[in-house]
A and B are shown apart, each in its own frame.
Chain A
Amino acid sequence: ELQLVESGGGLVQPGGSLRLSCTASGFTFRRYEMNWVRQAPGKGLEWVSYINSNSSTIYYADSVKGRFTISRDNAKNSLFLQMNSLRAEDTAVYYCARDSGITTRPGWFDPWGQGALVTVSS
């Protein structure tokens, strides 16, 4: 069964840091591009970051550029999101999502993890 499980969420003060992890199972992780998507309470989906299979191509949303870093460890079937200089507006559920696997063009997201809640508050 395809599965993505996020961990590492929690409460952090403004200006603080947090590292999210996403552990994959049920598919060959090293062959797939991965993404992070977030959803603020009561709001819509916002794409955060993308990493390709060998970490040679990385994209960020403007809202997190310079503060967040995406990475992966293919040997451990794991995706990470290092979040620094956190702000109240970063409060959200963070989902990891697998890209479609079509390497010749950007694809769709399937499946998604269950999400990890990050709360930035003093």
Chain B
Amino acid sequence: YVLTQPPSVSVAPGQTARITCGGNNIGGKSVHWYQQRPGQAPVLVVFDDSDRPSRIPERFSGSNSGNTATLTISRVDAGDEADYYCQVWDSSSDTWVFGGGTKLTVL
């Protein structure tokens, strides 16, 4: 199972960033999203398509339908600059799959 993410997304401060994750009928799977700042370990920001851990700001949200899942970050600030990865469980191979990652740049 392959997850496809855009290599990079750029957005101005205060605007909304949308990072996509494409996969065959991904809408039928649960998608999780991770943020990885440079030199740091990944951090969970969205789980089960659209739920947020309590420590994650409401600016982070997710959706999933058809062949595309989307992580949306509203009111982007410099602290959101990071790599973002989507993840799903592939039941046909009993493996977890990560997308290739998207580098978010705040202009």
Contacts and interface: CB of A to CB of B under 8 A. Distances in A.
Contacts of B85: 44-45
A95 to B, nearest CB: 6
A82 B62 CA distance: 36
B83 to A, nearest CB: 8
Contacts of B100: 44
A47 B96 contact: yes
Contacts of A97: 42
Nearest to B47: A108
- Binding site secondary structure of chain B: strand
A70 B98 CA distance: 20
A72 B47 CA distance: 26
Contact of A45 (B34, B43, B89, B91): B34
Chain B: number of interface residues, binned into ranges: 20 to 34
A113 B41 CA distance: 7
A106 interface: yes
B32 A108 contact: yes
A110 B53 contact: yes
B98 A44 contact: yes
A95 B47 CA distance: 19
Given A37-B98, A109-B42, A111-B44, 14 more contacts: A37-B42, A44-B99, A44-B100, A45-B36, A45-B42, A45-B85, A47-B87, A95-B41, A100-B47, A108-B44, A108-B48, A109-B32, A110-B47, A112-B43
26 contacts: A37-B42, A37-B98, A44-B99, A44-B101, A45-B34, A45-B36, A45-B85, A45-B98, A47-B87, A47-B96, A47-B98, A59-B95, A62-B95, A95-B41, A97-B42, A106-B91, A106-B96, A108-B44, A108-B47, A108-B48, A108-B87, A109-B42, A109-B87, A110-B53, A111-B44, A113-B41
